[in-house]
């Protein structure tokens, strides 16, 4: 096996180990999904330097690249319950619009804070 293949396997194993820890933490009696635990652990590890970005960057980029394919099974499942969803289409539409606006505003504010912080740090 070449060095680059081993690098990808190593990066993938790091991400899978963190996902596994998230799965274990989901056994706690809290209403938090395992994936959220895993993302939070990864965030802490990246901020503290326990894991360097270069240690997972290539595989993480690849996972983001194939993300649309990972949603195909969910979309097919929704097609099976389409009639039931149509009954609540107005509620679903309102939730989608409101949550999209909240996410856009929050993302914009966080981006502004980060930009201002960098400008203050540099200037």
Asked if pLDDT for residue 1 goes beyond 70, the answer is no
What pLDDT score was predicted for residue 22? Answer: 95
CA distance to 5, 99, 118, 120, per residue, from 112 (Å): 39, 20, 10, 12
The vertex-106 CA angle with 33 and 99, nearest 5°, equals 60
SS3 25: helix
List pLDDT tens digits, range 4-35: 788 999 999 999 999 999 999 999 999 999 99
Asked if pLDDT for residue 63 goes beyond 80, the answer is yes
* Residues 41-68, mean pLDDT to the nearest whole number: 94
Domain count, the chain: 2
Q: How far apart, in whole angstroms, are the C-alpha atoms of residue 113 and residue 118?
A: 9
pTM, two decimal places: 0.63
Q: Do 54 and 92 have their domain in common?
A: no
Q: Do 23 and 64 have their domain in common?
A: yes
Supply the DSSP string of 44-112, one letter for each residue: HHHHHTSS-GGGTHHHHHHHHHTHHHHTHHHHHHHHHTHHHHHTTHHHHHHHHHHHHHHHHHHHHHHHH
SS3 5: helix
For residue 6, being part of any structural domain is answered with yes
For residue 19, being part of any structural domain is answered with yes
Q: Do 56 and 5 have their domain in common?
A: yes
Q: Do 54 and 8 have their domain in common?
A: yes
SS3 123: coil
Asked if pLDDT for residue 2 goes beyond 70, the answer is no
Q: Do 9 and 65 have their domain in common?
A: yes
Q: How confident is the model at residue 50 (pLDDT cuts 50, 70, 90)?
A: very high
73 or 113: which leads in pLDDT = 113
What pLDDT score was predicted for residue 3? Answer: 63
Asked if pLDDT for residue 72 goes beyond 90, the answer is no
What pLDDT score was predicted for residue 87? Answer: 85
Q: Do 107 and 49 have their domain in common?
A: no
DSSP secondary structure letter of residue 35: H
Q: Can you give the residue range of the structural domain that contains 120?
A: 84-123
Asked if pLDDT for residue 123 goes beyond 80, the answer is no
Q: Do 104 and 49 have their domain in common?
A: no
For residue 38, being part of any structural domain is answered with yes
For residue 35, being part of any structural domain is answered with yes
């Amino acid at each position: 096996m070449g060095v680059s293949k081993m690098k990808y396997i190593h990066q993938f194993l790091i991400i899978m180990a963190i996902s596994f820890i998230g799965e274990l933490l989901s056994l706690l009696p809290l209403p938090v999904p395992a994936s959220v635990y895993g993302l939070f652990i990864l965030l802490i590890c990246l901020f503290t330097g326990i894991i360097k970005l270069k240690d997972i960057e290539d595989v993480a980029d690849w996972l983001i690249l194939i993300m649309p394919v990972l949603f195909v099974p969910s979309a097919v499942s929704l097609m099976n319950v389409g009639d039931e969803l149509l009954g609540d289409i107005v509620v679903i539409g309102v939730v989608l619009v409101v949550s999209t606006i909240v996410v856009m505003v929050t993302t914009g504010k966080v981006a502004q804070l980060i930009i201002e912080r960098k400008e203050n740090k540099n200037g």
